[in-house]
Structure 1
């Protein structure tokens, strides 16, 4: 998918209300030193090579699992604001656009929503795995924010 207006083959949606203000939740993603500490499902660590958080910027990083297997990733930022980040997953193998929203929710809370819109031809059998992995990612983010 090269544009956010394309009709997705399928969609993975995760939502969580976090007891932290939107600026803090957004900041945990906007700061590569923080994002490398919590990004990914359980058991993964990250090495960030490039993190250019601006429209047209790229994020190149390697996720490393508990068996030291490395997974290189490349994403391109399409839209960036403290309320919303949209990025195209370029490599490896999956073709999707991810939209992250950071919405105020009452006193010092944030409704965090991730939507992954997959291009036609993608295997929708991955959806249950990705939904669970995103929930682990949210767990890791929430734990990280509690330590700040």
Structure 2
């Protein structure tokens, strides 16, 4: 196949893996964009699907990005606007036809200024090992003429600069997160699920035997304050009960935990417990509470018919930490028997099966 390579002239091919390659087959209405990143697929995928991360890298530096919506799940949609310093705005929108965690995204792409020209983009994430990922995006356009117009618009410059920004974001992401950062990220997703529960769904059955949806919130807002009080002498502000107002109960509780973690003094304190000994307070929150919030996000979503997708990187982290403790965790009575799933199941399915859920 003959291709036209729109790479930068003079590329140093010893570092070519860090260059963005843009190719176009003269006979086909396609553009293929390839780039390798120094991060595992789960991290790169998250940067493509988490709106808090997307806004930090997508597009050239000279434009400011505002996201109206970015629901990166199968059947979801997106719209965002890039704005120049002179106020000129460029709006883009599309639909996510397929979102397969850490593997593949299929979406449409359209520009508000040319609503009749819509392309279909397929982005694949290939694990190269050694915490490296090759991302290949193939854009199928309506005609070769539309493809050539896109190339002539200067899109290659914006794509390359966006990839450079993504490199920088992934380098920051590789740095260890603080317990405060991790709680803020994970609690935000749980908060979204809490606020998304229809008023009539709070008494829907939940995956934990004998629980309904409001019991998922009840569990988190009741066990953790007692754990902090007995182990570290910390009193968290109490909100309303989960029976009276589960949304307010969670919001008051979550804000209080975040305030505790954001307090610099917390990192200097310890929590003592007869089962775990003495642990730095912020690490105890991260290991025993934030992880619990993450796992129960799936329970609440399943009970109330919401998006059940969990962060694949966090799933892998928890599963790697739990597998060596299989017998200990099972003996604690907090997890049911493992359920059976195929060997090639994705990491979220394997984690849920490990803790006894039936995904």
TM-score range, shorter chain: 0.7 to 0.9
Q: Does the Cα contact within 8 Å between 1:56 and 1:76 map onto a contact in 2?
A: yes
Q: Write the distance in 1 (CA, Å) between the matches of 2:44 and 2:99.
A: 14
Once the two structures are superposed, what CA deviation does each residue of 1:32-55 show, in whole Å capped at 9, x if it has no partner?
011011111231221111111122
Structure 2 partner of 1:131: 156
Structure 2 partner of 1:4: none
Q: 1:60 to 1:134 in 2, by over 3 A?
A: same
Q: Mind listing any 5+ residue stretches in structure 2 that lack a counterpart?
A: 1-26, 174-359
| 3-state secondary structure, aligned to 1:122 | helix
| 3-state secondary structure, aligned to 1:15 | strand
TM-score (norm 2): 0.37
Once the two structures are superposed, what CA deviation does each residue of 1:48-79 show, in whole Å capped at 9, x if it has no partner?
11111122211011111233321111111111
Pick aligned residue for 1:66 from 85, 88, 92: 85
| 3-state secondary structure, aligned to 2:110 | strand
- The structure carrying a bigger helix percent of its residues is 2
Q: Write the distance in 2 (CA, Å) between the matches of 1:42 and 1:60.
A: 19
Q: Write the distance in 2 (CA, Å) between the matches of 1:108 and 1:135.
A: 21
| 3-state secondary structure, aligned to 1:50 | strand
**Could you tell me how far 1:106 is from its partner in structure 2?**
2.0
Q: Does the Cα contact within 8 Å between 2:120 and 2:141 map onto a contact in 1?
A: yes
Divergent runs of 4+, >6 A: none
Q: Write the distance in 2 (CA, Å) between the matches of 1:66 and 1:140.
A: 19
Q: 1:105 to 1:66 in 2, by over 3 A?
A: farther
**Could you tell me how far 1:123 is from its partner in structure 2?**
5.2
Q: Write the distance in 2 (CA, Å) between the matches of 1:58 and 1:33.
A: 16
| 3-state secondary structure, aligned to 2:146 | coil
Pick aligned residue for 1:36 from 25, 50, 55: 55
**Could you tell me how far 1:87 is from its partner in structure 2?**
0.7
Q: Write the distance in 2 (CA, Å) between the matches of 1:80 and 1:143.
A: 24
Q: Write the distance in 1 (CA, Å) between the matches of 2:28 and 2:61.
A: 27
| 3-state secondary structure, aligned to 2:52 | helix
Q: Does the Cα contact within 8 Å between 2:38 and 2:170 map onto a contact in 1?
A: no
Query: Computing the radius of gyration over CA atoms, which structure comes out larger, 1 or 2?
Result: 2
Higher relative contact order (CA 8 A, sep 6+): 1
How many residue pairs match? The answer is 141
- The structure carrying a bigger strand percent of its residues is 1
Once the two structures are superposed, what CA deviation does each residue of 1:93-143 show, in whole Å capped at 9, x if it has no partner?
132111111110121000011111111252513325223322222111111
